[in-house]
Structure 1
């Protein structure tokens, strides 16, 4: 069974969002997603300053099984990237909601948060797969 923290928001593409300040959100992939991928060996990250629209691909996660696109859950500008993932991509496997975060966005359309899934809604998405 996958861990789904109730304080986060989710997408049906298996990204999580944590509000970390006024108009700032941290993004990563869910425990469910990392389990489906298997051992993560590489993460392609965007550049700080890149502008993203919601649902836009911004990078990839490569595992021993496959390569998966990462999608922006919200519109905004990349404010920070987790540079530790360059040397330690497997931290997504060991701590997807902590050390395995991927980017922080300076959110430009805060109303998009309302369109994200709650933990209960995300669990229903997993249950359908």
Structure 2
């Protein structure tokens, strides 16, 4: 089994697309006004409007802007450089500036427009680098 995609249900499709395009440098593929995807080498972040919930049984299935337990994580080449580039434009989204975590990743924590926690990280210790390089 492989994790292929994580989907965010939102009332703010365009705001989330803009945020994630900005922080990832990727361009979203917009399939409809209610659904878009940002594809990375290993997985996809999907963004769906609350209107898409009708296909899954109705609005009671998921509620936008209610997450307080999941962190969406992206490995980046240089989190400090990305922070330096984006700090001014992401000022209100920054939860924690780049910090080295005990497990060896330098992490930048943000909140997207719906309040979802986003971790942009770069492995920096030999152990963390080895873990992500598969050595």
> What TM-score comes out, normalization by structure 1 length?
0.27
Q: Which has the higher helix share?
A: 2
Larger radius of gyration: 2
Task: Say which structure, 1 or 2, has more relative contact order (CA 8 Å, 6+ apart).
Answer: 1
